[in-house]
Amino acid sequence: MIQSQRYHWKYPTLLTLSTITIVLGLSWPKPQFQPSVFTEPKTQEPLRLPASKTLMGHSTWVYAIAISPNNQYLASASYDGKIKIWNQKTGQLLHSLSGHTDAIETLVVSPDSKILASGGWDNRIRLWNLETGELIRTLKGHIEDVKTLAISSDGKWLASGSVDKTIKLWNLSTGKKHLTLKTSDWVRSIVFNSDTQTLVSGSENGSVEIWSLTDGKRLQTLTAHSQAIWSVALSPDGQTLATASTDKTIKLWQLNNLQLQHTLKGHSRAVWSLAFSPDSQILASGGYDKTIQLWNPKTGQQIRQWEGHKKPIWSLVFSPDSQVLATGSSDEMVKLWEIDTPKIFQPMNTQTSSEIHLKPSLKSSEVTDSKTLVELNQILYNSIDQNWQSVRFNDTLVYRVKLTADGKIASYQPMNVAASDWVAETPLEELHQPNLLPQNLIEFTVVMMPSGVLEVAPIQGWDNLP
């Protein structure tokens, strides 16, 4: 019975995977979102925000993502054993890598941004040249799934954790196995301490174990959760250990003495992934409930939460500058979210995005100030998200859209053949409100690209902005 529960997520029913949802990221000006304060997360409906970029290319669940320390590359890996390497800034796909024969569950990049390590259900670890996409070598040693990988801050050691109840330490430059640690249960997550002399692991039985890498001895065992630990993370400032579990909680521990500081209760289902921002100011979490939640690790207070994907979130990671959070999901997408760190800790407006309204008399010619355009971007996103259905397309689609002052799509006009063909198969075809007065309408040009990027501009363009 226990064994069948453990493999529940290893063999998902692929027939349930739906068509990729087009998630639209808005361009200039960047909206300054003011979501509600979630004092009781379990009873609040999560806010939905547009991603700044959506990377679409995987054909099945995105299990793992990693961003290179030089901030140039983003790597994503999926259930079908494929890895994709993207330009982190532009979203351009650079390489598609094949080599694993089963699902890939973990990725990590070396400190010099030259090596990408991947591990998965074929029991193998593969090292790749991140710039060229070429396979460097394959590491064999585990006899069960490789669940987690970590690289020491000096770039010397690669650690791997597995269902076979071992952690193995490898010389990253030579690929030779240096040490094998026998753990109490499956190892789901590992992380090096900044001193590179110790390693922290989180296991299926809910325990955290601290290991010495000089002699391989277990230094300490902590019963942290009542259920499996899926993710462990150390704050870059070396102060805090975070653990996430299928028991729906996140726990923050003081690293030097492993004293519990805070228990974070915001997720309604299992928490699968954690990431500290490089400046140690934010802890991000994601999991089965599809929400992304940001926390202040010092106080344990939730900063904000929003529904980031249509399906569960398997992995998330911050960019080296702490400005971007990347997430990977069962919806086959990777999303990039701009995190405005200086403003994110300010008190949040209790008015939700759906409550934003414009002056009824506002005309298109009057839309010239940045504040109004920010509001219009949010309204247009909400309207599109509610009415434009999931679809795959290969062409750039251009529309002229008229929006009412309260955020409803009054009419649309396809500006190219591809857009016309596509809209005929969606509910947009039935959207029509012919009796609206012209002065109550605001006109936009909307450009949708297969990459998931959305460009939005009022008809008169952005040139009139102060």
Cα gap 235→82, rounded to integer Å: 30
Question: Please, what are the domains in the chain?
Answer: 35-344 (2.130.10.10), 356-458 (no CATH)
Cβ neighbours for 155, distance < 8 A, ≥ 6 positions apart:
110, 111, 112, 172
Looking at per-residue pLDDT, the higher value among 395 and 225 belongs to: 225
Cα gap 268→18, rounded to integer Å: 23
The secondary structure element, H or E, covering residue 71 is: none
Cα gap 323→161, rounded to integer Å: 29
What are 264-301's pLDDT values in tens digits?
999 999 999 999 999 999 999 999 999 999 999 999 99
Cα gap 99→79, rounded to integer Å: 13
Query: Are the CB atoms for 242 and 271 separated by under 8 Å?
Result: no
Question: Chain-wide mean pLDDT for the chain?
Answer: 75
Nearest to 78 by CA among 51, 105, 99, 98: 105
Cα gap 161→123, rounded to integer Å: 10
Query: Are the CB atoms for 276 and 242 separated by under 8 Å?
Result: yes
The secondary structure element, H or E, covering residue 374 is: helix 370-387
pLDDT band at 403 (very low <50, low <70, confident <90, very high): low
pLDDT band at 222 (very low <50, low <70, confident <90, very high): very high
Cα gap 374→353, rounded to integer Å: 11
In this structure, the chain runs to a length of 466
Omega into 29 within 30° of 0, i.e. cis? yes
What are 64-115's pLDDT values in tens digits?
999 999 999 999 999 999 999 999 988 899 999 999 999 999 999 999 999 9
Query: Are the CB atoms for 133 and 94 separated by under 8 Å?
Result: yes
Which of 91-95, 340-344, 345-349, 385-389 has the least mean pLDDT? 345-349
Dihedral angle at the C-alpha atoms of 191, 192, 198, 203, nearest 10 degrees?
10
Entry pTM: 0.67
